[in-house]
Amino acid sequence: MQPFTDEVVTNRDFLRSVFQSMLRARILENKLSSLYKAGKIVGGVYLGRGQEAVSATLGTSLIQGTDFFAPLIRDQAGRTAFGEPLLDCTRTYLGSVKGPMRGRDGNIHRGRPEMGMPAMISHLGAQVPVIAGMLFAKRLQGTLAGRVGATCIGDGATSTGAFHEGLNLAAIERLPMVVVIANNQFAYSTPNHRQFACADLVEKARGYGIGGFSVDGTDLMACASVIGEAVKRAREGAGPQMVVARLLRLSGHGEHDDGCYVPAEIRSGHYGRDCIEVAMRQLVDHRIATVDEILAWQNQFAEEVQRAVAQTQQEDVPDPYQEDWTALSTRFPLAQPSVQ
């Protein structure tokens, strides 16, 4: 894999945009953590700390309204970059009836399928064939050209049958799909060596007959060039692309978990560095953004997050007596056959 850094540096707007999504997500997630610890969020809170560079780069590389994006558990930054409003997040976490899930599902289990962003289920790998199917539909409808579908998963999900079946299917159909594997080295508490036996997950790409890339997921510039290139290749018709980003999640699996199983030498090692600090330095060093600008963004995003939370907290939560309690859109009995 050739470095594309020179080209990336010239794409200043892209990098500024990715970084803004990273920062916005981090500030939002810090707030979610506080709300959880204050007992304001029921259930779990699952953060993407340390994975923002990967997630936001993917989300920024996609075109909302054209592309499809199935985010997973640690993709707040990618969701934000793809255009999900902060309110979708706060409303889902706090159970507002105005949110996309209306209290029927919570936290990261949210989406807007009508806008190309399906809502994840908890079963890992399950979104891979869904994205493939969305793209397949566009092929049948004759509107696939120029479109990309992407999904993110973790190292743990690569062990699932769903991941294998879905990726193989996408490869057979040669769909314009990007699968980003955030290898954060631990699936909940299980380390890589209990998850797979190949030296590097990217080796799997060859087995599926698809493109494979590796990237340092803590390095914004590297992510921008590598993930950007994978998306570009998929869009140009080169078939599915796999990107394996190595990094470390800088929090527990959820906020209920302190991540004590991550050894100190890994925490203090290269991948234990904070991708936001790395990105900040890169932007300043390359004169893509100034420190003052970044501080201003920080204030702006903190205010946005505060506003979203405050607004959500004033909204209604679901009322079991108003709930229609039906899982089907069809109302039975049907009076007449619907098709003659």
Binding positions for another protein, rule: CB under 8 A: 100-102, 104-105, 109, 111-114, 118-119, 121-123, 126-138, 140-141, 161-162, 165-166, 168-169, 172, 326-330, 332-339
CA distance 55 to 39: 28
CA distance 275 to 280: 8
Q: Closest separation between CB of residue 35 and another protein, Å?
A: 22
Structure tokens at 277: 């600090």
Q: Closest separation between CB of residue 132 and another protein, Å?
A: 5
Q: Closest separation between CB of residue 161 and another protein, Å?
A: 6
Q: Closest separation between CB of residue 95 and another protein, Å?
A: 13
Between 164 and 273, CB nearer to another protein? 164
Q: Closest separation between CB of residue 242 and another protein, Å?
A: 16
Between 113 and 207, CB nearer to another protein? 113
Between 45 and 124, CB nearer to another protein? 124
Structure tokens at 121: 């289920």
Between 130 and 223, CB nearer to another protein? 130
The sign one gets for the Cα dihedral 272, 277, 283, 284 is negative
Q: Cβ neighbours of residue 108 under 8 Å, at least 6 residues apart?
A: 46, 71, 72, 73, 75, 76, 120
Between 75 and 216, CB nearer to another protein? 75
| Total number of residues shown for the chain | 340
Structure tokens at 272: 């234990």
Give the ranges where 62-191 is alpha helix by DSSP (H). 76-82, 86-94, 127-140, 161-173
